[in-house]
């Protein structure tokens, strides 16, 4: 559960059917719990957060605002869908993009009957509306990625390597200066690196990789 607090937002969890809630230790990668206010005074970066069992795996799904197109400067203007199993985290989208007269502030994810839906409030005042959409392609992607996580975990298990707490794995797959995560979540960006078997060779000043996990 994510709740609004005086100093931002905090994540709480339970293990006894709702009798006792305790603040979660650490943070989820890429989850913004300290959300600034928009011009209308709302905490708007984090939209909705739910749990869902997909392909036999317990996941946390949430919507969070980012910039569209990616890399643009300015105020976050688009809601993206994020999914995590507590270790690996990935996102897809955008699910919606703001325009001047029709911004999105609040949304709710709904997972039921093996289907994922999004209800979203858009607009201001008398012009506000509720929009409802089915996230069919996004759910197909989530299922594919969960199966990929299981497959990569199984390969590590066969080689007697632990996977608890493993957020990603960089090996031999690259596209240009992108070092591809085998879990298909967060890739690394390489600068002035020389490709070698199973990685890159960093040889001098300014040579390295950024992996924002």
Residue pair 170/199 in contact by the 8 Å Cβ criterion: yes
Give the C-alpha separation, 7 to 30, whole Å: 19
Give the C-alpha separation, 122 to 127, whole Å: 8
Residue 167 has pLDDT above 50, yes or no: yes
Burial of 129 (0-12, 13-18, 19+ CB in 10 A): exposed
Among 23, 20, 19, 21, which Cα is nearest to 11's?
23
Task: Give the tokens for residue 15.
Answer: 């293990």
CA 200: distance to chain centroid? 27
Q: Where in the chain is the domain with CATH 2.120.10.10?
A: 2-158
C-beta atoms surrounding 27 within 10 Å: 10
Q: What are phi and psi of 98, to 5 degrees?
A: -70, 150
What is the per-residue pLDDT across 109-150, written as a single tens digit (0 to 9) for each? 999 989 999 999 887 777 788 889 999 999 999 999 999 999
Instruction: Please give the CATH number for the structural domain made up of 2-158.
Output: 2.120.10.10
Q: What are phi and psi of 14, to 5 degrees?
A: -135, 155
> pTM for the whole thing?
0.77
Cα dist. 149→54, 167, 184 in Å?
Answer: 12, 10, 8
Per-residue pLDDT band at 199 (split at 50, 70, 90): confident
Give the C-alpha separation, 17 to 34, whole Å: 27
What is the per-residue pLDDT across 40-78, written as a single tens digit (0 to 9) for each? 444 457 788 888 999 999 999 999 888 888 777 778 888
Bridge partners (DSSP) listed for residue 191: 208
């Amino acid at each position: 559960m994510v709740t609004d607090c005086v100093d931002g937002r905090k994540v709480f969890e339970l293990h006894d059917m709702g009798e006792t809630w305790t603040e979660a230790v650490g943070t989820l990668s890429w989850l913004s719990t300290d959300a600034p206010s928009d011009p209308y005074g709302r905490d708007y970066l984090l939209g909705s957060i739910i749990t869902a069992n997909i392909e036999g795996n317990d996941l946390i799904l949430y919507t969070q605002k980012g910039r569209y197109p990616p890399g643009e400067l300015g105020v976050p203007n688009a809601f993206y869908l994020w999914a995590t199993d507590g270790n690996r985290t990935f996102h897809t989208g955008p699910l919606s993009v703001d325009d001047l007269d029709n911004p999105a502030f609040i949304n709710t994810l709904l997972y039921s009957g093996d289907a994922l839906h999004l209800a979203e409030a858009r607009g201001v005042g008398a012009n506000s509306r509720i929009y409802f959409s089915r996230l069919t392609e996004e759910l197909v992607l989530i299922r594919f990625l969960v199966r990929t996580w299981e497959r990569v975990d199984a390969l590590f298990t066969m080689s007697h390597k632990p996977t608890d707490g493993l957020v990603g794995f960089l090996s031999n797959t690259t596209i240009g200066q992108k070092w591809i995560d085998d879990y298909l979540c967060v890739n690394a960006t390489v600068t002035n690196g020389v490709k070698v078997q199973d990685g890159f060779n960093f040889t001098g000043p300014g040579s390295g990789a950024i992996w924002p996990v």
